[in-house]
Amino acid sequence: MLNATQQTAFQGYIGNGGGYVGIHAAADTEYDWAWYSGLAGALFHSHPAIQTATVRVEDRAHDATAHLGTTWQRNDEWYNYRTNPRTTSHVLASLDESSYTGGNMGDHPIAWCKDYSGGGRSTPAAATPWSHTATPTSAPPAGRHPLGGRVAEADCRPETGYTSVFNGANTTGWSQAGPGSFALSNATLTSQGGMACSGTRPGSTPRTP
* Backbone φ, ψ for residue 194 (5° rounding): 80, -175
SS3 72: strand
Q: Is CATH 3.40.50.880 the classification given to domain 15-148?
A: yes
Residue 93: exposure state from Cβ atoms within 10 A (0-12, 13-18, ≥19): buried
| Over residues 149-166, mean pLDDT | 65
Residue 4 has pLDDT above 90, yes or no: yes
Helices (H), 108-184: 140-148
Q: Which pLDDT belongs to residue 131?
A: 61
pLDDT digits (tens, 9 = 90+) for 180-190: 777 777 767 77
Residue 93 has pLDDT above 70, yes or no: yes
- Domain regions of the chain by residue span: 15-148, 161-209
Q: What is the pTM of this model?
A: 0.70
42 close to 91: Cβ distance less than 8 angstroms = no
Handedness of CA 10, 11, 14, 19 (dihedral sign): positive
List all residues 6 or more positions away from 57 whose beta carbon is below 8 Å from its beta carbon: 65, 68, 69, 70, 71, 72, 92, 93, 203
| Over residues 87-96, mean pLDDT | 90
